[in-house]
Amino acid sequence: MTFEVPAHDGKPPSRIRQKNEQAILKAAEDEFARYGFKGASMNAIALGAGLPKANLHYYFRNKLGLYIAVLSNIIELWDSTFNALTAEDDPAQALTQYIHAKMEFSRRQPQASRVFAMEIISGGACLTEYFTQDYIAWFQGRAAVFQAWIDAGKMDPVDPVHLIFLLWGSTQHYADFSTQICRVSGRTHLTKQDMQVASDNLTRIILKGCGLTPTA
């Protein structure tokens, strides 16, 4: 899961370096979320970070290196949340928490979700080394948690793999498609309260749909 590409190695990062790298990564996230890898402009990222364009190439080898760095940050965040689920958990409680965590992520870091979405929609060429055999094994291990719940009679025998896609698709939709959601519901942005209502509805339907009783 680690394919960070540091521009320079060995030396301990100075305070200036850390601050500038963070500013660049933030500006890059916004630009890549809006235009994807190919459509993004290094010049626009430099402007957003408040630095001359040449400095980007000092901190990151090139456009692709910067893009990979942004993607890595996102993916680590996602995987750690999903790893919290275990076969020993109560499925109703665990799924409620997971849906809530994913929705919180969609609320707080929508740009990160969008960069990932754009990359996948574009064919995911930059993630070929991420989707390794190790990743497939990891995913199957995650699906096995759901299967364990089913085998223990704790939930309906739904297809675990498709349940995962349902969880991912429905929660990320609130980050990736928030523009559409706002327009049709006459909002300028999704508030914390809007997201709470959305999260509750989603939890209610999915839990009941899997034969689970909501937790108090």
Partner DNA sequence: GTCTATAGACAGATAGAC
Partner DNA sequence: GTCTATCTGTCTATAGAC
Site residues for DNA per CB under 7 A: 11, 13-14, 16-17, 20, 40-44, 51-55, 57-58, 62-64
Q: Which amino acid is at 210?
A: C
180 binds a copy of itself (CB under 8 A): yes
Phi and psi based region of residue 123 (left: phi greater than 0; alpha: psi -120 to 50; beta: remaining): left
Site for a copy of itself in 131-170 (CB under 8 A): 131, 135-136, 139, 156, 158-159, 161-163, 165-166, 168-170
- Residue 181 interacts, among DNA, a copy of itself, none and using kind-specific CB cut-offs from 5 to 8 Å, with a copy of itself
| Candidate segments 72-80, 94-102, 144-152, 174-182, binder of a copy of itself by CB under 8 A | 174-182
| Candidate segments 14-22, 79-87, 91-99, 121-129, binder of a copy of itself by CB under 8 A | 121-129
Residue 139 Cβ, how far from DNA at the closest point, in Å? 32
C-alpha 82: how far from chain center:
10
User: Running DSSP on this structure, what letter comes out for residue 14?
Assistant: P
Contact 137, 82 (CB under 8 A): no
Buried b (16+ CB within 10 A) or exposed e, 160-197: beebbebbeebbbbbbbebeebeeeeeeeebeeebbee
- Residue 184 interacts, among a copy of itself, DNA, none and using kind-specific CB cut-offs from 5 to 8 Å, with a copy of itself
CA angle in degrees (0–180, nearest 5) for 93-99-100? 90
Supply the angle between the helices 15-39 and 42-49 in degrees, to the nearest 10: 140
What whole-number distance in Å separates Cα of residue 200 and Cα of residue 216? 12
Element (H, E) at 132: none
Nearer to a copy of itself, 20 or 203 (CB): 203
Residue 59 Cβ, how far from a copy of itself at the closest point, in Å? 23
# of chain residues touching a copy of itself (CB under 8 A)? 55
| Candidate segments 12-20, 27-35, 46-54, 94-102, binder of a copy of itself by CB under 8 A | 27-35
Token reading at 156:
């309906």
Nearer to a copy of itself, 84 or 136 (CB): 136
Interface positions with a copy of itself (CB under 8 A): 33-40, 114, 117-118, 120-124, 131, 135-136, 139, 156, 158-159, 161-163, 165-166, 168-170, 172-174, 176-177, 179-181, 183-186, 197-198, 201-202, 204-211
